[in-house]
């Protein structure tokens, strides 16, 4: 009996020990969970705090801008601008400390302060586009003038130059099914190459991605935009694309629906997107793009557009074209520019 009692006592002691260890482990886990919760909550509180804090400073900057009729820059509201840039963690460059700033910063800061036409690309992450009938996207560098199409995710800036070239896409039709090869072998490509080689300020330009994807007339707008980016070349210069034309319209949230999935809706978009579109402003001739539209079994038709809308045009027809280039990431511009036609961003 005594042995049984001793054995029972040993078992009980062991069970109590195990139970105590379990309780200690649970308490430790609860402590860790509580600590993690507190850290997450503190992080959320910090995010809310800084969002609210910077939001109020952005509103103050916007209100200051509203007191000007036109022609204002962020430096017209120097105090508000300095507080806002400090809040979002961006370096503030005062007018007294220098005359230039990063062009990307100027573009975004001006858009934060007033309506310039710059908006987020809803289909491409971390990309900004200019849309509307006359956004503040004029730029000048050297002897060249142009307008900004977009700020790319890698920080480069896509620009269409103002100089217009008239002629056919190519002298003869083709049997090739490779749109990139057709573009680089074309008469138009070689004409632009000659012009590019004679340009000044080429040190400001970088190679960029120029999309040459092929679409069908029966495509939905959504499928067409995806297909355009399925093929591309890396080069110093290129042409506008159907994507550029469609996204330059401020109607992209209404009649110019970029997400339409119905059959042949791309043709509807090509018509509707001509409204409130700076790329067609004052342009009656058909502008060549690097987007081929399949007709039958060949690639002898490319998309063109004008103020009458978009269409397909055989490559031997006469049209016009404007060179597209990419400015390097980190390009500086005069801080006094606001992107208007009379006061463009001037690249230094």
Query: Which of the pair, 209 or 80, is modelled with greater confidence?
Result: 209
- The 3-class SS string of 16-83 reads HHHHHHHHHHHHHHHHHHHHHHHHHHHHHHHHHHHHHHHHHHHHHHHHHHHCCCCCCCHHHHHHHHHH
**Which tokens sit at 189?**
């490509």
Please report which confidence band the pLDDT of residue 109 belongs to, taking 50, 70 and 90 as the band edges: confident
Does the reported pTM lie above 0.85?
A: no
Looking at the chain, the whole-number percentage of residues with pLDDT higher than 70 is 78
The set of long-range contacts for 314-318, using a CB threshold of 8 Å and a minimum separation of 24, is: 314/173, 315/168, 315/169, 315/170, 315/173, 315/174, 315/182, 315/186, 316/168, 316/169, 316/170, 316/171, 316/172, 316/173, 317/168, 317/169, 317/286, 318/166, 318/167, 318/168
Which string of DSSP letters, residue by residue, matches 115-167? Answer: --SEEE-SSSTT-EEE-BSS-S-EEEETTEEEEEEEE-TTS-EEEEES--EEE
- The pLDDT tens digits for 221-233 are 999 999 999 999 9
- The pLDDT tens digits for 272-314 are 999 999 999 888 899 999 999 997 778 999 999 999 999 999 9
Q: What is the mean pLDDT of the chain?
A: 85
**Contact between residue 216 and residue 293 where contact means Cβ atoms under 8 Å apart:** yes
- The pLDDT tens digits for 169-182 are 999 998 888 999 99
**Contact between residue 180 and residue 231 where contact means Cβ atoms under 8 Å apart:** yes
Dihedral sign from CA coordinates of 15, 21, 23, 25: negative
**Contact between residue 334 and residue 345 where contact means Cβ atoms under 8 Å apart:** yes
Q: What are phi and psi of 140, to 5 degrees?
A: -140, 135
Q: With 50 as the cut, is the pLDDT of residue 96 above it?
A: no
pLDDT at 47: 54
- The pLDDT tens digits for 312-339 are 999 999 999 999 999 999 899 998 899 9
Backbone torsion region of residue 150, taken as left when φ is above 0, otherwise alpha when ψ lies between -120 and 50, otherwise beta: beta
pLDDT at 111: 84
């Amino acid at each position: 009996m005594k042995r049984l009692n001793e054995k029972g006592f040993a078992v009980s002691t062991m069970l109590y020990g195990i139970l105590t260890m379990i309780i200690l482990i649970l308490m430790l886990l609860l402590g860790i969970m509580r600590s993690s919760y507190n850290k997450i909550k503190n992080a959320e509180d910090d995010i809310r705090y800084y969002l609210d804090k910077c939001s109020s400073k952005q509103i103050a900057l916007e209100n200051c801008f509203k007191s000007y009729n036109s022609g204002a820059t962020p430096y017209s509201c120097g105090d508000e601008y300095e507080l806002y840039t400090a809040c979002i963690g961006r370096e503030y460059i005062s007018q007294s400390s220098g005359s230039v700033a990063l062009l990307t910063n100027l573009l975004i800061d001006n858009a934060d302060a007033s309506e310039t036409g710059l908006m987020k690309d809803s289909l491409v992450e971390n990309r900004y586009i200019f849309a509307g009938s006359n956004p503040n996207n004029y730029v000048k560098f050297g002897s060249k003038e142009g307008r900004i199409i977009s700020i790319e995710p890698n920080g480069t800036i896509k620009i269409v130059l103002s100089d217009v070239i008239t002629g056919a896409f190519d002298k003869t039709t083709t049997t090739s099914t490779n749109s990139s090869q057709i573009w680089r072998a074309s008469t138009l490509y070689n004409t632009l190459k000659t012009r590019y080689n004679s340009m000044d300020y080429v040190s400001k330009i970088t190679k960029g991605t120029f999309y040459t994807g092929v679409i069908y007339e029966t495509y939905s707008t959504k499928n067409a935009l995806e297909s355009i980016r399925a093929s591309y070349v890396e080069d110093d210069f290129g042409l506008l694309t159907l994507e550029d034309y469609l996204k330059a319209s401020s109607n992209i949230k209404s009649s110019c629906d970029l997400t339409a999935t119905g059959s042949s809706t791309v043709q509807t978009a090509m018509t509707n997107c001509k409204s409130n579109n700076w790329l067609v402003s004052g342009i009656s001739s058909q502008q060549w793009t690097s987007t081929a539209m399949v007709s039958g079994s060949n690639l002898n038709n490319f998309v063109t557009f004008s103020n009458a809308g978009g269409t397909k045009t055989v490559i031997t027809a006469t049209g016009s074209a404007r060179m597209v280039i990419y400015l390097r990431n980190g390009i500086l511009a005069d801080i006094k520019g606001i992107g208007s036609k009379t006061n463009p961003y001037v690249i230094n």
